[in-house]
A and B are shown apart, each in its own frame.
Chain A
Amino acid sequence: MTEITEVPSPFCGIGTDDLAIRVDGLSLQVAANGCAVNTPGFEQPITDTSPRVGGQAVDLDTAVAKAAALLRDTKQPVIAGCATDVNGMRGLLALADKSGAVVDNVNFPAARRNLLALQDSGWMNTTLAELKNRCDVLLIVGTDLEAFAPRFFERYLWNEQSMFLDNTASRDVIYLGKAPSGDASTSPAGKTATVLTCADADLPDVVAVLAALIKKQPVLAQNVAGIAVTDLQAVADKLKTAQYGVILWGAAALAYDHAELTVQTICNIVKDINLQGTRCSGFPLGGREGDQTANQVCGWTTGYPARVNFARGYPEYDPFLYDSQAMLANGEADALIWVHAFNVNAKPPRTTLPTIVIGRSGMTFEKEPDVFIPVGTPGIDHAGHAYRLDNVVAIRLKKLRDSGLPSTAEVLHAIEQAL
């Protein structure tokens, strides 16, 4: 048995890299700094070690040959999931380029809310270390931050020391929309968050009023969606008098129509505060299970973040048309490759089309795919790179054990070569 320290997690998106993992053969145990997201991710046991074709165990070469055969005569395959590391995405995009596939990552419906806002008007954002050292006012919009990343507050808000704050425990935390699910947002000194709740569907109105107050536009209403306008005015004043305010949102939590407009309003609030002479930054949550990695690698390889179609021999981007679920449902695709190296519960969408699954060992299926190739998990079974939620920092994932499972990149590369 060995213990490996300073292990970065590929699961939580916030780039925790202080885990200690006990390795005993193929079994892993999180010995320090685990959480509800990371611990199960690391401790998931290996069950499958060999690929299957039509439910029968075969060797890797046979599975790869079958996958290539299934793809060979397709006109519009889709590669979905896209939950892997940087090298896995490199292999995935090479295969997509050669086979004329659509590439669509599993978390794109949430990421799209951010991307549409970015591509329409841009933003001013920050990263975790700035937040850790500078942020004195944190406004959390529509999101239960603690449930998303259990260790966020401990690591980035209630850090004992910061470079530019005398006392981190006096930071102001404000929840707008959702209430926190636990008490992680309460500072070590007992200071609790300000919580202004409303229904998700009312967030656009609430955020719009806050934007108006920031811009000093007249607001006639006394309250909006149950929140007193005077309370929102207090939020606006706090942001405007902050040393370094941060407005955080989780696009996945904004699950209502045209949430991208809410994201855009938030981004415009940040810009307006900066124009009025105070520093403020936005902070989008994301980055779980490789979604940021998928968008980054797709970005430099194709110029577009995701939902890219290679059918015409060059990448075309459409954040709506190339929705793999819709394409499968509408009969626009003729084969599915599902790539998910992180989560055994992330299963391929139901389809009667030829289906190839390149997935984490331990996946079970309601309907056995035509080809299933179990792969190692980046950061456990092989080294790799993954992007953190703030998009700037790529973390170096470590290899923790010798499982003999191939990497996603190796499998996809082999299929590409066999095509």
Chain B
Amino acid sequence: MLIKLTGGTVYDPASGIAGQQQDLFIQDGRIVDAPTDGRPVDQEYDLRGKVVMSGAIDMHTHIGGGKGNIARTLLPEDHRLDPVHRTPVTRSGNGHAMPSTYVAGYRYAEMGYTACFEPAVLPINARQAHMEMGDTPIVDKGGYVMLGSDDFLLRMLTAKKDQKAINDYVAWTLNAAKGIGIKVVNAGGINAFKFNQRKLDLDEKNSHYDVTPRQILQTLARAVKELGITHPLHVHGCNLGVPGNLETTLNTIQGIEGLPMHLTHIQFHSYGTEGDFKFSSGAAQIAEAINQNKNISADVGQILFGQTVTASGDNMRQHANHRFASPNKWVCMDIECDAGCGVVPFKYKDQNFVNALQWAIGLEIFLLVEDPWRIFLTTDHPNGAPFTSYPHLIRLLMDRSFRNDMLATIHPEAQKMTTLASIEREYSLSEIAIMTRAGAARIIGLKDRGALSPGNFADITVYTENADRQAMFTKPDYVFKDGELVVRDGQVVKVTWGTTHIVKPEYDLSIENELKPYFDKYLTMKLGNFKISDDEISEDGRGSLTAHPLRGAA
């Protein structure tokens, strides 16, 4: 079937198109050139006056894995406020802070998103992450596999294994857990907490292993580069949420020595200690460091006010933050000599000085980082806010007077501590398209997505132009996923199943000669049973795997 999208105003930064009126054609799930053979168009959509972008990509959102299910189970009262009815095409469920998987897929699609990436896939919990993502309809998905607090890696580092052996282990794990990138959370810190260390600075040693976070980051960033994995090492830094952690973050940027590195939810790592409350914005220094260091990218992890739940692998920091839990209940877990997790409900309040300043810091970073290809629109769902708040966040970035109106309502001392009012920048539609589409596809290493050029998969979102950007981005007119119309007027009209994006770096099989006895001696599962097979993703007939190419060997 040949589908024609006629006369839309196209924003396709990957192709250098910024608001040009043009037609698009879809056939067999892909975008194709305008037919020259006189073939008839089977279906036509008149998009004159509408804005056309590729489907949006959330490069960091917690949509799969055990901590999300703990968060769900922990908060029945939150779900009761947002029940989602079954319809003839969709399943029932519920939403808000940590929606059920079906609802997450529908709501992402209804906002024009067509791909979502889970950033904290513990290797031992990867099956669950894939099963939850497997029950998340419409959107494509993928995960970054967490390393850095796993005992096997720390043993290797203490034993001064060479980089080649580390690379083999990293590649083996990525293949076994089926991810597209490597994530580090509080490098070594989750492990140190198991030895009763309550904090771990960048150059502080684990009390058992002869290793510092800086070494872990350097080693893993090198492994990622040398294996040819496109997505840079995805780093949740040390000292999350600690006043003064700005210094740690700047040190981390310097310490990576030019290797590609993505700093996630950087808002939570950009705090100074100035002022009466000993808490201040480090946004200007952080943004400057990102501007200066082209090897660095970041997503913001914007907080927005209201009830949410934080769900993180960083149980060291989550344990420290549990006293802010609202409602007052929380979970921490140590997990399988592999990682950990902490789940703490939070209610961010605009009249709380710290929360209000966190809100401003996030926005400052968005607006002070110059290159939209290296900064990404996230709330670190659900940590900063549920992903459903993206349209509101987009308006804050695109509409200065709206932003300043909001600023005028937050805690007065926080207003004094931020330069936000003086920042004039307003994001353009092209810049929004970069940070939510083209840039995201590029940094994850997705081939054939995030752009509207012929040959790409037809993931396309169509909006009605509206000066109220929140309204505009809340409810697309049309969303096409792999060429099929899945959303019309902001409502799911057809349910499809996206693919799972992975990479498969090569490794020396002999790494299993070391891993097998380690599994047999210390772990609780056999090596062969640990590895996820392809059929586990595809056996129900709706899942599939899409392997992306690696960069040329380093």
Residues in A lying within 8 Å of B, measured CB to CB: 6, 8, 15, 17-18, 86-87, 90, 94, 97-98, 115, 118-130, 132-134, 155-156, 159-164, 243-244, 274, 277-279, 281, 295-296, 299-305, 310, 313-317, 383, 385, 391-396
B336 lies within 8 A of A279 (CB): no
A22 to B360 alpha-carbon distance, docked (Å):
65
Task: Tally chain B residues at the interface, Cβ within 8 Å.
Answer: 65
Chain A residues with Cβ below 8 Å from B100 are 300-303, 315
What 4 pairs across the A-B complex have the smallest Cβ distances? A122-B329, A314-B83, A129-B336, A303-B79
The residue that A393 contacts in the complex, of B74, B124, B131, B533, with Cβ under 8 A, is: B124
Known: A86-B131, A155-B524. A301 touches B331 (CB 8 A): no
B128 within 8 A of A: yes
A2 to B143 alpha-carbon distance, docked (Å):
38
Known: A121-B329, A313-B92. A163 touches B522 (CB 8 A): yes
B135 lies within 8 A of A300 (CB): yes
A295 to B24 alpha-carbon distance, docked (Å):
46
Chain B residues with Cβ below 8 Å from A396 are 127, 529, 532-533, 536
Q: Which residue of B lies closest to A163 (CB)?
A: B522
Known: A300-B72, A313-B85. A125 touches B522 (CB 8 A): no
Chain A residues with Cβ below 8 Å from B86 are 97-98, 310, 313-314
B196 within 8 A of A: yes
B93 lies within 8 A of A301 (CB): yes
B528 within 8 A of A: yes
- Report B491-529 CB contacts with A as 1/0, cut-off 8 Å: 000000000000000000000000000000111111011
B330 within 8 A of A: yes
Question: Smallest distance from the beta carbon of A320 to chain B beta carbons, Å?
Answer: 13
Residues in B lying within 8 Å of A, measured CB to CB: 66, 68-69, 72-76, 79-80, 83-86, 91-94, 98-102, 122, 124-125, 127-128, 131-132, 135, 151, 193-196, 208, 319, 325, 328-338, 343, 521-526, 528-529, 532-533, 535-536, 539-540
Question: Smallest distance from the beta carbon of A104 to chain B beta carbons, Å?
Answer: 16
Question: Smallest distance from the beta carbon of A306 to chain B beta carbons, Å?
Answer: 10
Chain A residues with Cβ below 8 Å from B523 are 129, 132
Chain B residues with Cβ below 8 Å from A132 are 522-524
Chain B residues with Cβ below 8 Å from A316 are 80, 83
Chain B residues with Cβ below 8 Å from A299 are 69, 72-73
Chain A residues with Cβ below 8 Å from B73 are 115, 118-119, 295, 299, 304-305
B522 lies within 8 A of A162 (CB): yes
Question: Smallest distance from the beta carbon of B96 to chain A beta carbons, Å?
Answer: 9
Beyond the given pairs A278-B196, A296-B69, A317-B80, 16 more chain A to chain B contacts, judged by CB atoms under 8 angstroms and listed by A's residue number, are A97-B91, A126-B335, A128-B336, A133-B337, A279-B194, A295-B73, A303-B93, A304-B72, A310-B92, A394-B127, A394-B128, A394-B131, A395-B529, A396-B127, A396-B532, A396-B533
Chain A residues with Cβ below 8 Å from B336 are 127-130, 392-393
Chain A residues with Cβ below 8 Å from B521 are 159-161
The residue that A314 contacts in the complex, of B72, B92, B122, with Cβ under 8 A, is: B92
A18 lies within 8 A of B526 (CB): yes
A126 to B79 alpha-carbon distance, docked (Å):
26
A314 lies within 8 A of B93 (CB): yes
The residue that B334 contacts in the complex, of A122, A127, A162, A317, with Cβ under 8 A, is: A127
A395 to B73 alpha-carbon distance, docked (Å):
21
16 of the cross-chain contacts (CB-CB < 8 Å) are A6-B529, A17-B526, A127-B335, A129-B522, A129-B524, A155-B524, A279-B195, A279-B196, A302-B100, A303-B98, A304-B72, A314-B83, A315-B93, A392-B128, A393-B124, A395-B525
Chain A residues with Cβ below 8 Å from B535 are 383
Q: Which residue of A lies closest to B336 (CB)?
A: A129
Q: Which residue of B lies closest to A117 (CB)?
A: B329
Q: Which residue of A lies closest to B125 (CB)?
A: A392
The residue that B66 contacts in the complex, of A6, A119, A244, A392, with Cβ under 8 A, is: A392
